[in-house]
Structure 1
Amino acid sequence: MKNLKRVIVDYKKLTPRVLKLLIEKYPDGYGDRDIIRFKGLKGEAIEAVEVSTRDTKYLVKISSKLRYSMANFNEADATVLNIDGGDKPSTTFAESEEE
């Protein structure tokens, strides 16, 4: 298995493509078993869910806005937002919270 690029994504910087991947992986929402917990660089507790593409593993920070977005996302939104466009994740594990 090749090494995947690892990225932590906050809700504010979540791309439509990654949101769609989350919905596909967790169609009924995520549960306690799906949540990854770790400490950030400043010692704050962070909870995230994981989703992967061929070359990138994303840890998406959990928030109430993430839950709302997943619950209200639909395929029409994906078309309007051009989901198949490229992703430009902003933060790699090494640059942010955890390695």
Structure 2
Amino acid sequence: MKRVIKDYNSIEKRHLDLIAAEYPEGFEIEDLITFRKADGSSFRGLEIKTDDFLYLFKIDTRMLEAIDDHTDGDFTLDSFSESDDYDYESSDSEDDD
């Protein structure tokens, strides 16, 4: 199984379709996994498995907006903006592909 990390800069429509199919009603902060980088910083990601790939989607404000724009009105991301447990405005510009 190939492991792939995707962030906002490398996301494609097919990836957004995967997220929407896996979480048709939206996802919560509890669905995210926290990853530590070698430099000590961290990021949150959403894992989705397919037959051939294990995707890790880095979740930041731009990614949340892309998912929201791509999905219909039933997909909810409101809990992120209201949570004390997630820095909704953070964005990591590094591309780990």
Q: Indicate whether the TM-score tops 0.5.
A: yes
Q: Which residue of 1 aligns with 2:31?
A: 34
Structure 1 residue 48 corresponds to structure 2 residue 68:
no
| Match among 21, 24, 29 for residue 24 of structure 1 | 21
In the alignment, structure 1 residue 68 sits paired with structure 2 residue 65 = yes
| Distance in 1 of aligned mates of 2:45 and 2:71 | 22
Structure 1: 5+ residue runs without aligned partners? 76-89, 92-99
Deviation at 1:74, TM superposition (A): 4.8
Q: CA RMSD in A?
A: 1.8
Provide runs of 4+ in structure 1 moved above 2 Å: none
Identity of aligned residues (%): 31
Number of aligned positions between the proteins: 74
| Unaligned runs of at least 5 residues, structure 2 | 73-95
Rounded Cα–Cα distance in structure 2 between residues aligned with 1:61 and 1:11: 8
- Map of 2:80 onto structure 1: none
Deviations 1:31-70 (A, max 9, x none): 1221010101222111000112211000000011111111
Question: Aligned partners of 2:38 and 2:46: how far apart in 1?
Answer: 18
